[in-house]
């Protein structure tokens, strides 16, 4: 299927921007585009109440074990009264959004416009498509009271480390982060321990997230670190 010309132009805009300095006029007009993207996201999600953002892969589909885990997480988060927020695309994002709707919870997505993927999944009460990754990450963080990270790729790890860095540097405080999938994330956790051993992070920085396989432990963690601080 041919690529939509507008999508191709959006991607070209970002590629050109990241190449380096351009004319002052070009930089100014690109900054206006970024500002419009932020306003679009703010207007879409301002009145939706507290969210739990679930960072997951777009590439695990129905029938995969992690799809079931994402559904369980979405269901339990919805039962606690939180809005389930994802990147709005397919795979595990779809799983979390889908079950939120099944239990009459609120389901929202902050989609990214790309050449190859992705289209918003059909289980969203409200969604917005964002042109630029860095804008999307801000919006996914801004409205969340907890981050839950399931197995994913570069994008998922980017979102995880962005969250951890914001907490480490106290840009956001007392913010719970859960990493689900002990076996999948085993080497990642070991590398974080290695960083602590070598002093590139504090030893206490290892405690900035909970790593678990238990949905029950995740819900207890949210209850202790999020709900009790909201009431």
What's the confidence (pLDDT) of residue 1?
37
**What is d(CA 121, CA 126) in angstroms, rounded to the nearest whole number?**
11
pLDDT, averaged across the chain: 91
Residue range 205-220: mean pLDDT, rounded? 96
Q: Quick one: pLDDT at residue 14?
A: 82
**Percent of the chain scored above 90 by pLDDT?**
81
Of 51-60, 116-125, 126-135, 141-150, which gets the smallest average pLDDT?
116-125
Answer whether residue 17 shows pLDDT above 90. Answer: no
Q: Is the pLDDT of residue 121 over 50?
A: yes
pLDDT at 5: 46
What is the spatial distance between Cα 181 and Cα 37, in angstroms, rounded to a whole number? 33
CATH number at residue 29: 3.40.50.450
Q: What is the CA radius of gyration of the chain?
A: 18
Confidence band (pLDDT; 50, 70, 90) for 48?
Answer: confident
Residue 57, phi then psi, degrees to nearest 5? -80, 150
How many angstroms separate the CA atoms of 177 and 208, rounded? 7
Strands 107-112 and 126-130: parallel
**pLDDT, position 119:** 85
Average pLDDT over residues 142-168: 95
Total domains in the chain come to: 1
* Structural domain boundaries, residue 95: 5-230
Please tell me the predicted confidence (pLDDT) of residue 227.
80
């Amino acid at each position: 299927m041919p690529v939509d010309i507008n999508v191709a132009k959006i991607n070209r805009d970002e590629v050109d921007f990241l190449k380096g300095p351009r004319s002052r006029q070009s930089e100014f007009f690109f900054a206006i585009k970024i500002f419009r993207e932020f306003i679009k996201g703010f207007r879409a999600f301002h009145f939706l109440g507290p969210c739990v953002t679930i960072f997951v892969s777009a590439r695990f589909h129905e029938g995969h074990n992690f799809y079931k885990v994402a559904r369980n997480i979405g269901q339990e988060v919805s039962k606690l009264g939180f809005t389930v927020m994802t990147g709005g695309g397919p795979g595990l994002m779809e799983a979390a959004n889908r079950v939120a709707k099944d239990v009459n919870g609120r389901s929202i997505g902050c989609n990214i416009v790309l050449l190859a993927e992705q289209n918003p999944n059909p289980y969203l009460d409200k969604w917005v498509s964002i042109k630029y990754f860095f804008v999307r990450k801000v919006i996914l963080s801004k409205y969340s009271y907890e981050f839950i990270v399931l197995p994913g790729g570069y994008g998922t790890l980017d979102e995880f480390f962005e969250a951890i860095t914001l907490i480490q540097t106290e840009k956001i405080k007392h913010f719970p982060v859960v990493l689900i999938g002990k076996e999948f994330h085993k080497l990642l956790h070991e590398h974080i321990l290695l960083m602590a051993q070598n002093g590139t992070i504090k030893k206490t920085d290892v405690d900035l997230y909970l790593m678990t396989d238990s949905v029950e432990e995740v819900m207890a963690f949210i209850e202790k670190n999020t709900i009790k601080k909201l009431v």
